[in-house]
Structure 1
Amino acid sequence: MTLTLAPADEILQALGQRLRAQRLAQDLPQSELAAMAGLSLGALRKLENSGQSSLETFVRAVQALGLADELETLFVLKRQSIAQMAQAEAAGQRQRAPRRRQGS
């Protein structure tokens, strides 16, 4: 599933399904992963079934599966060309209005 244009609930559900697939690939029962992650079984089930959870719950499950490295590439700023960096810097600089002359 491509996540680009999907609504938030579909993205969360897809992440829960991916987490379940990783757990099953490692041949772990839900109860064991929940214990390894320090989560309740209900919290893990909810995460896998609907994707509904706190970010902390998600990260704990990811870490327990040994997949924390997969999070490294999330939200990393992409390298820009020198021209793009100069343009962004110029756009961020504020300029003062010209000074008005007094009494002439």
Structure 2
Amino acid sequence: MLFDLATVEEIAGALAQKLRALRLQQALTQAELAARAGVSERALRNFERSGQATLETFLRVAQALGRAADLEALFELKVRSIRAMEQASETRQRAPRRVSADKPVAKPAAKSVSRRSSR
């Protein structure tokens, strides 16, 4: 799923399914994970089903599954050089138009040379 194009609800649902898959991969029941995370089974069950949870519940579950360190990358500042920022702000220029092979190219009109007859 491309998070850039998804709604908040779709992202929340996708994150919940990923955490559920991690729970199953670690062979944990909902009760066991809820106990490890310090949340109620109901909160965990609701989160896995609907993707709705408090931020605290989400963080506790991620931490209990050993994935809290992965969240740090979300908020790392990406250092860019001044030149890269300048290039990003420059306006894009259009390429010159190409002449289509299907369309005939208009030829310049030939100059007419008038000859006067000399008598």
What is the TM-score of this pair, normalised by structure 1? Answer: 0.77
Whole-Å separation in 1 of the counterparts to 2:29 and 2:62: 15
Structure 1 residue runs of 5 or longer lacking an equivalent are: 87-104
Q: Residue 85 of structure 1: CA displacement?
A: 6.5
Whole-Å separation in 1 of the counterparts to 2:81 and 2:47: 39
In terms of fraction of residues, the more helix-rich structure is 1
What is the TM-score of this pair, normalised by structure 2? Answer: 0.68
Amino acid across the alignment from 1:71: L
Whole-Å separation in 2 of the counterparts to 1:4 and 1:52: 19
**Using CA pairs below 8 Å that are at least 6 residues apart, which structure has the higher relative contact order?**
1
Which stretches of structure 1, 4 residues or longer, exceed 4 Å deviation after superposition?
A: none
Give me the CA root mean square deviation.
Answer: 1.7
Amino acid across the alignment from 1:62: A
Amino acid across the alignment from 1:83: R
Structure 2 residue runs of 5 or longer lacking an equivalent are: 87-119
Q: Give the greater-gyration-radius structure (CA).
A: 2
SS, match of residue 52 in structure 1 = coil
1:59-94 Cα distance to aligned partner (Å, 9 max, x none) = 0000111111111101222111133568xxxxxxxx
1:9-88 to structure 2, matched below 5 A, reads 9-83=9-83
What fraction of aligned residue pairs are identical, expressed as a percent? Answer: 57
Q: Residue 28 of structure 1: CA displacement?
A: 0.4
Amino acid across the alignment from 1:31: A
- Which has the larger displacement, 71-80 or 18-27? 71-80
